[in-house]
Structure 1
Amino acid sequence: MWFDLVLGQKPGNRNNDNTKGDKMKICVCFKIVPDLDQVLESDWRDISQGLDTSYVKKMINCFDETALEMALRLKETAADTGAACTAVTVGGGLASLMKGLYAVGYDRVVNIPFERREFCPETVAALLAGFIKSGDFDLVLFGKQAGMADSGMVPPLSAELLGLPFVGDTAAASFEGGQLVLEHETPAGLEVLKLQGPVAASVGDAEYAYLRVATLREKMAASKRDIEEWPALPAEDTVLPAFSRESSAKECVMIEGESGAAKAGAVYEKWIKGMIS
């Protein structure tokens, strides 16, 4: 299905029609997570005390990696008018991974310091929205979720705080005649949207799932660049709930008897007979 949508222009901003010669500005929000495939089997068995990931390598969340590559491909197809790509994360994680985004073509890589980012989707969304508001972006991309047991709330919460239309489960993005075209999955199948104006979108399964690999020369040049630090806005401390399992102690009684029939008779006489008499 095809839909043509003309979204509202940002107040007081430039005309967002890319045919006018304006450079498109794309922001991609990403998260650095532990590679859970490297967690030892023994640590999975003892997960009740919390999963130890201190020894595993870090990686860019898979859906965020897809969103990062999608933005670079849009940048390439907008070569006639130009496009600038910014990547932003909350809480950092690994400088070499972040600098690697410079190597593959990102113009800005930004970190918003925040130590306790887990289980805080409202706070993370507020921090991202604060940065995005300052950047006058035409398109904001997110991976649809990040990490084990992730709620997937950050993308729609951020879009709500920004006052932007939100497109979920985006599978492809392109330009047609200066218009942004997004393809996204719906319960009824693939839907194609032609959009004009600022929009936020979460990226799910796409054709190009992996971020491109930089050359050694590109990596060496990127290593000399600094990660931008964006000061986190003041936020109330998040109080995490105390999770506990309800007591499920059970009493076990061993039934004595020489045969199955004898044991069944004992159960009947002691527990069942009185209930049906």
Structure 2
Amino acid sequence: MRFDLVLGQEPESRNNDNTKGDKMKICVCFKIVPDLDQVLESDWKDISRGLDTSYVKKMINCFDETALEMALRLKEMAADTGAECTAVTVGGGLASLMKGLYAVGYDRVVNIPLEHREFCPETVAALLADFIKSGNFDLVLFGKQAGMADSGMVPPLSAELLGLPFVEDTVAALLESGQLMLEHETPEGLEALKLKCPVAASVGDAEYAYLRVATLREKMAASKRDIEEWPALKTEDTILPDFSRESSVEECVMIEGESGAAKAGVVYEKWIEGMIS
């Protein structure tokens, strides 16, 4: 494990030294997605064009959920100087899920309206970057990929539009004497980085994969709060992708033979012939 120093851009209106008492501002970009296992096969071709999937259970994308929890843990670590957590999503989803973020400790929950184009990473990245620029955030977190397309393009595209250093596959985050440190996966193994804010990062398989659970009292208080709406930029028309569910046919064949070796020989011959894989 090694430590590198990554320098971010120095915002004109912000002191970049977290040790001087500035409140840390964290933004987490998340997406509410349908449970794909519940989507009917006949509906897949229309799902990117605004198909009503109200019959399908909705959930926060798994990697985004990890990023949301990571931000809350950093907020707890920054108790001395204070921290503010903002969650933003494009295209909306389920109000109860979004308000649930207030219940677990988020200070702001923001929705950027978007109809039928949430599968266009360039559009989503542009909308997120527009909002993030307004917030003067120290740290921007994304789940490394989201939704059925799983392109993983939104985080790096957003970071490029923002002009921020970008750390991929983050698995842990902490503050040491006001210094932000991120641990991420690389082809050579885990690497720990000492970072100077602002910076953006995508979150992968962290140790804590789930968002904390709020108490009933916290949920009731959060239900009275409103979701903020950020006006969406005008975007150009884009070609919507088509989705389809892969279908596979599984067959069970009983292998006959007097011994295990004989059965293994039959399997080997069928594999050579290309009958099995």
Structure 1 unaligned spans of 5+:
245-277
| Residue identity matched to 1:134 | S
Q: Give distance in 2, aligned partners of 1:210 and 1:133.
A: 28
| Residue identity matched to 1:215 | T
| Residue identity matched to 1:60 | I
- Please list the CA deviations of residues 112-168 of structure 1 after superposition, one character each: whole Å capped at 9, or x if unmatched: 000123331000000000000000000000000012232110000000000000000
| Residue in structure 2 matched with residue 255 of structure 1 by the alignment | none
The 8 Å contact of residues 103 and 218 in structure 1, kept in 2 or not, is answered as yes
| Residue 11 of structure 1: how far off its partner (Å) | 3.3
| Residue in structure 1 matched with residue 121 of structure 2 by the alignment | 121
| Residue in structure 2 matched with residue 227 of structure 1 by the alignment | 227
| Residue identity matched to 2:98 | M
- Please list the CA deviations of residues 215-262 of structure 1 after superposition, one character each: whole Å capped at 9, or x if unmatched: 000000000000000000111111236799xxxxxxxxxxxxxxxxxx
| Residue 48 of structure 1: how far off its partner (Å) | 6.6
| Residue in structure 2 matched with residue 253 of structure 1 by the alignment | none
The 8 Å contact of residues 8 and 165 in structure 2, kept in 1 or not, is answered as no
Q: Give distance in 1, aligned partners of 2:71 and 2:242.
A: 39
CA shift in 2, pair 1:20/1:153, >3 Å: same
SS at match of 1:172: strand
Q: Percent identity?
A: 86
CA shift in 2, pair 1:216/1:158, >3 Å: same
The 8 Å contact of residues 30 and 87 in structure 1, kept in 2 or not, is answered as yes
| Residue in structure 1 matched with residue 208 of structure 2 by the alignment | 208
Q: Give distance in 2, aligned partners of 1:121 and 1:242.
A: 14
Larger-Rg structure: 1
| Residue in structure 2 matched with residue 69 of structure 1 by the alignment | 69
Asked if 1:19 is matched to 2:19, the reply is yes
The 8 Å contact of residues 9 and 15 in structure 1, kept in 2 or not, is answered as no
Q: What are the within-5 Å matches in structure 2 for residues 167-246 of structure 1?
A: 167-240=167-240
CA shift in 2, pair 1:233/1:80, >3 Å: same
Q: Give distance in 1, aligned partners of 2:240 and 2:45.
A: 16
SS at match of 2:237: coil
| Residue identity matched to 1:133 | K
Q: CA RMSD in A?
A: 1.9
| Residue identity matched to 1:201 | A
Asked if 1:95 is matched to 2:74, the reply is no
Q: Give distance in 2, aligned partners of 1:175 and 1:11.
A: 20
The 8 Å contact of residues 44 and 243 in structure 2, kept in 1 or not, is answered as no
SS at match of 2:193: strand
Q: Give distance in 2, aligned partners of 1:239 and 1:4.
A: 41
The 8 Å contact of residues 169 and 205 in structure 2, kept in 1 or not, is answered as yes
SS at match of 2:135: coil
| Residue in structure 2 matched with residue 32 of structure 1 by the alignment | 32
CA shift in 2, pair 1:5/1:213, >3 Å: same
| Residue in structure 1 matched with residue 160 of structure 2 by the alignment | 160
SS at match of 1:147: coil
TM-score calculated relative to the size of structure 1: 0.82
The 8 Å contact of residues 164 and 199 in structure 1, kept in 2 or not, is answered as yes
CA shift in 2, pair 1:171/1:113, >3 Å: same
Q: Which moved more, 1:147-156 or 1:94-103?
A: 147-156
- Please list the CA deviations of residues 68-113 of structure 1 after superposition, one character each: whole Å capped at 9, or x if unmatched: 0000000000101110000000000111100000000000000000
Asked if 1:7 is matched to 2:7, the reply is yes
| Residue identity matched to 2:195 | L
CA shift in 2, pair 1:209/1:153, >3 Å: same
| Residue 176 of structure 1: how far off its partner (Å) | 1.1
Q: Which moved more, 1:146-155 or 1:206-215?
A: 146-155
Q: Give distance in 2, aligned partners of 1:129 and 1:177.
A: 29
TM-score calculated relative to the size of structure 2: 0.82
